[in-house]
Amino acid sequence: MPNLLHKPFGTHGKVHEITPQTAGWRYVGFSLYRLRRGERISESTESNEAILVMVEGKASFIAAGRDWGTLGDRMDVFEKTPPHCLYVPNGSTWEATAETECTIAVCSAPGAGGHEARRIGPEGISLAERGKGTNTRYINNIAMENEDYCDALLVTEVFTPAGHWSSYPSHRHDEDDFPRITYLEETYYHRLNPADGFGIQRVYTDDGELDETMAVKDGDVVVVPRGHHPCGAPYGFEMYYLNVMAGPQRKWRFVADPAVSWIMQRDA
């Protein structure tokens, strides 16, 4: 089993690079750049499609042969304003030039050439409340199932208040048995406010073959190859995470942990 918890391998430039090969799976890729003003990066999507998420800061983009101008106006992710994003199909190149210090997430999965390059957000993205009580959290859906922007990717942002749980009640999406459940690999890019805090994420299977509980720090990435994957924010620290999911089909269907499924039925 590959390591589930990935620490950033620096504070500048490309600080994360999760590939299907390093994660031991087939679909999801995730990388992250932290740039200084004036720095430029470029990539080719090759056989993948990509969603570029301006987590923080501003950058100008050229992608798929088009100048997209400046993206980004959220200087701190915990402003919770809608993100600026760019969809880039497979077989394309893109480049970004930082106009301020910025953080750019690159979410990728195999592309089929079914969609053109396009901006996603901030128009059409609004912060939505989900859950009840200390299970309440707030969602910016970037490209979920009902947004037909992509061939394979499902991408969303989640803000979890201090003292609350998220991705809870515990659930899994690790079988290809639609419509009961779909197989989706998933990454979590975590941020904490204040940044010196920590959160908790557990990844476990019903049979206990996989059962890891991790203390996540600001900037960490957790990969979820299978199993349930709840996370919690201690009192005093709010949590943000950027989710990337992909699998054989672009549908999100999950099965709850039997031990907590009653919570979903009660709160429905």
Q: Is the pLDDT of residue 169 over 80?
A: yes
Model confidence at 264, in pLDDT bands (50, 70, 90)? confident
What 3-state DSSP class applies to 20?
A: helix
Q: Class for domain 8-267, per CATH?
A: mainly beta
Query: What is the pLDDT, as a whole number, of residue 261?
Result: 86
Query: What is the pLDDT, as a whole number, of residue 201?
Result: 98
- Which of 228, 161, 169, 155 is CA-nearest to residue 199? 161
Distant-in-sequence, close-in-space partners of 33: CB < 8 Å, separation ≥ 6: 13, 14, 15, 41, 96, 103, 104, 106
Distant-in-sequence, close-in-space partners of 224: CB < 8 Å, separation ≥ 6: 4, 185, 186, 187, 188, 203
pLDDT in tens, 237-249: 999 999 999 999 9
Q: Answer whether 218's CB lies under 8 Å from 192's CB.
A: yes
Query: What is the pLDDT, as a whole number, of residue 257?
Result: 94
Q: Is the pLDDT of residue 132 over 80?
A: yes
pLDDT in tens, 23-63: 999 999 999 999 999 999 999 999 999 999 999 999 999 99
Q: Answer whether 7's CB lies under 8 Å from 225's CB.
A: no
**Could you tell me what percent of the chain has a pLDDT over 90?**
93
Query: What is the pLDDT, as a whole number, of residue 149?
Result: 86
Q: Is the pLDDT of residue 133 over 70?
A: yes
Query: What is the pLDDT, as a whole number, of residue 92?
Result: 96
Taking residue 14's Cβ as centre, other Cβ atoms within 10 Å add up to 17
Range 6-14 average pLDDT = 95
pLDDT in tens, 71-112: 999 999 999 999 999 999 999 999 999 999 999 999 999 999
Task: Output the CA torsion 199→257→157→233 (10° steps).
Answer: -20
